[in-house]
């Protein structure tokens, strides 16, 4: 068992955190949490709430320190909150929105934030900066007396569960709630001047063990297989500047209910009591889909991955008999699997990835393929691959960053799709209405190294709502809208 008493005020980054430190400068791993608010908003109240967040969570006021000699990174702690909100008036926001009329103002601002990269080599002066912040906040005034609040974080300190927890805590602080729980939150997360251990230091004993030769064989297998992966057709591989864009996959409550209760199984949340349900309803719930698609023993992630694979294969207009090999990445929140287990609101990056390949031909059945996708994930987890292969995948990710020409068209695409094992589950409540929350979103950029489409799924008020992030102009918005439309069509008709 890892000894949390060994934590210090600062520490070197772990292996997974290091891979994000390498990826973010190129454009992958910029996490954005955005809120669309109506009504009055006091910037001073927002600033106070953000200061309290940094006080409660030391990792939010940490800085990334780079040692150029050893090419290593460390977290160091600022003794006081350093974040200052960057405010943009209506004039600036109107100019920003004028550049793209094809998406909503909120959508456009989210895309803009995904492509603001204070960690990029181009933006840093000198090119290798010895120390950078990990947390930024912006406030955009919209012409219709609305506001957009955005939090931008380095993914090494904020995975998806952290983003959801951060959002809910911020809302409580803005509303003047949660102050009495502040001490308890600090006790769960860590002491006020310490950064918690990374995921590798908390893996249960023996779970990450792999013989030397087995590790070499797996690395070779991953490397050779990557040359055989088929990607979604690229639209523009020559552009020197890439960015992340977002399209949505949305289903109404009836479509969502039918998808999650396919063949008579029921989707429901089994919590011990009402307070437990309230606590967990706004975070990533482990096992929330235990009964979804029960007739086929799969989770929603399997259906989303299968729909993307079939949609991508059908876009290539090939004979049905011709097989192609595609890769999928499914991300697992490991907090409850670690030693000791971490609380749901423990900030940091504690996800692991499982990469699987699938041979796809024309005419695949959605639910048979969904079963294959989910069983591949299940079998990998039974074999502890989410721990034992962690170092291998981090190593290969860094190699792709160092040698983009080893990837098709220097695209640095590692898979067709990435999706999370479990969705975010949340509902609008009295707190949201009190503050004037109209919408919110959390996702991360992928235009450096990563998949062709990264799906950030959530269930909100009974609706499935997915933010699908992709690299542009490697893929076009029209291409991705067509892909997502085909995915939705398959999910809807397949659940009828």
What distances in angstroms separate CA 75 from CA 85, 121, 189, 404, 411, one per listed residue?
22, 19, 16, 28, 30
Helix H or strand E segment including 2? none
Cα dihedral 353→358→362→364 (10° resolution): -80
What are the structure tokens assigned to 144, written together?
């219709």
Q: How many CA atoms lie within 13 A of 64 on its CB side?
A: 28
264 and 247 share one domain: yes
258 and 125 share one domain: no
Work out the number of other CB atoms within 10 angstroms of the CB of residue 9: 14
Helix H or strand E segment including 299? none
Of 155, 181, 201, the residue at which a domain comes to its end is 201
Of 181, 201, 221, the residue at which a domain comes to its end is 201
In this prediction the pTM is 0.88
State which residues form the domain around 362.
203-494
Cis peptide, bond prior to residue 344, ω within 30 of zero: no
65 and 176 share one domain: yes
Question: Domain count of the chain?
Answer: 2
258 and 179 share one domain: no
85 and 60 share one domain: yes
217 and 111 share one domain: no
Pair 341, 335: CB distance under 8 Å: yes
Helix H or strand E segment including 315? none
Instruction: Annotate 199-256 with three-state secondary structure.
Output: HHHHCCCCCCCCCHHHHHHHHHHHHHHHCCECCCCCCCCCCCCCEEEEEEEEECHHHH
289 and 349 share one domain: yes
Contacts of 344 (CB under 8 A, 6+ apart): 161, 165, 279, 280, 283, 284, 335
User: Which one-letter DSSP state was computed for residue 234?
Assistant: P
Please report the beta strands in 338-449, taking only residues with DSSP state E, as ranges in sequence order: 351-360, 413-420, 424-426, 437-446
134 and 208 share one domain: no
pLDDT tens string for the chain (496 positions)?
Answer: 444 333 347 899 999 999 999 999 999 999 999 999 997 788 888 999 999 999 999 999 999 999 888 889 999 998 889 999 999 999 999 888 887 667 899 999 999 999 999 998 654 444 445 789 999 999 999 988 899 999 999 999 999 999 999 999 999 898 874 444 444 434 333 344 678 899 999 999 999 887 666 666 566 666 767 778 899 999 999 888 999 999 999 999 999 999 987 543 333 322 223 333 333 333 333 333 333 345 556 899 999 999 999 999 999 888 888 999 999 999 999 999 999 999 988 999 999 999 999 999 989 999 999 999 999 999 999 999 999 999 999 999 999 999 998 888 899 999 999 999 999 988 777 778 888 889 999 999 999 999 999 999 999 889 999 999 999 999 999 999 999 999 999 999 988 7
* Rounded Cα distance, 471 and 415, in Å: 13
213 and 170 share one domain: no
* Rounded Cα distance, 90 and 452, in Å: 34
CATH code assigned at 297? 3.30.559.30
Phi and psi of 47, rounded to 5°?
A: -60, -40
177 and 217 share one domain: no
Of 182, 201, 220, the residue at which a domain comes to its end is 201
CATH code assigned at 13? 3.30.559.10
241 and 388 share one domain: yes
70 and 136 share one domain: yes
What are the structure tokens assigned to 221, written together?
């297998």
CA-closest candidate to residue 143, choices 186, 108, 113 = 108
């Amino acid at each position: 068992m890892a000894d949390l008493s060994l934590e210090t005020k600062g520490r070197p980054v772990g292996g997974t955190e290091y891979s994000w430190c390498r990826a973010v400068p190129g454009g992958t791993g910029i996490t954005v949490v955005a809120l669309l608010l109506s009504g009055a908003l006091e910037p001073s109240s927002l600033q106070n709430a953000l200061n309290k967040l940094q006080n409660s969570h030391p990792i939010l006021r940490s800085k990334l320190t780079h040692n150029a000699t050893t090419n290593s990174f460390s977290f160091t702690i600022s003794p006081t909150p350093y974040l200052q909100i960057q405010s943009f008036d209506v004039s600036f926001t109107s100019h920003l929105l004028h550049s793209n009329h094809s998406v909503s103002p909120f959508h456009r601002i989210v895309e803009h934030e995904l492509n603001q990269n204070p960690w990029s080599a181009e933006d840093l002066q000198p090119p290798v900066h010895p120390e950078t912040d990990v947390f930024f906040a912006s406030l955009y005034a919209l012409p219709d007396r609305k506001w957009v609040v955005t939090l931008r974080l380095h993914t090494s300190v904020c995975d998806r569960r952290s983003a959801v927890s951060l959002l809910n805590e911020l809302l409580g602080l803005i509303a003047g709630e949660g102050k009495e729980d502040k001490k308890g939150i600090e006790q769960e997360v860590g002491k006020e001047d310490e950064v918690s251990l990374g995921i590798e230091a908390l893996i249960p004993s023996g779970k990450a063990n792999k013989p030397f030769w087995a590790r070499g064989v797996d690395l070779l297998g991953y490397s050779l297989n990557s040359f055989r992966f088929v990607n979604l057709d690229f639209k523009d591989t020559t552009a020197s500047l890439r960015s992340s864009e977002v399209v949505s996959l949305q289903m109404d409550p009836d479509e969502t209910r039918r998808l999650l209760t396919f063949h008579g199984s029921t989707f429901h949340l089994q919590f011990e009591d009402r307070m437990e349900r309230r606590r967990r309803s706004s975070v990533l719930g482990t096992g929330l889909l235990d009964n979804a698609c029960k007739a086929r023993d799969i989770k929603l992630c399997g259906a989303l991955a299968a729909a993307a694979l079939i949609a991508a294969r059908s876009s290539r207009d090939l004979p049905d008999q011709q097989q192609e090999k595609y890769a999928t990445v499914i991300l697992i929140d490991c907090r409850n699997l670690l030693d000791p287990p971490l609380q749901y609101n423990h900030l940091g990056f504690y996800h692991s990835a499982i990469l699987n390949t699938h041979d796809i031909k024309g005419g695949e059945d959605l639910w048979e393929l969904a079963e294959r996708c989910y069983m591949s994930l299940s079998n990998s987890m039974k074999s502890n691959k989410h721990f034992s292969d962690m170092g291998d995948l981090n190593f290969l990710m860094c190699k792709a960053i160092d040698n983009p020409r080893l990837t098709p068209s220097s695209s640095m695409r590692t898979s067709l799709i990435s999706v999370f094992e479990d969705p975010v589950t949340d509902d609008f409540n009295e707190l949201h209405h009190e503050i004037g929350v109209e919408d919110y979103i959390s996702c991360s950029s992928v235009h450096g190294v990563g998949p062709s489409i990264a799906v950030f799924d959530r269930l909100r008020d009974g609706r499935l709502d997915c933010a699908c992030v992709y690299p542009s102009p490697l893929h076009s918005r029209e291409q991705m809208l067509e892909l997502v439309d085909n995915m939705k069509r398959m999910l809807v008709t397949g659940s009828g």
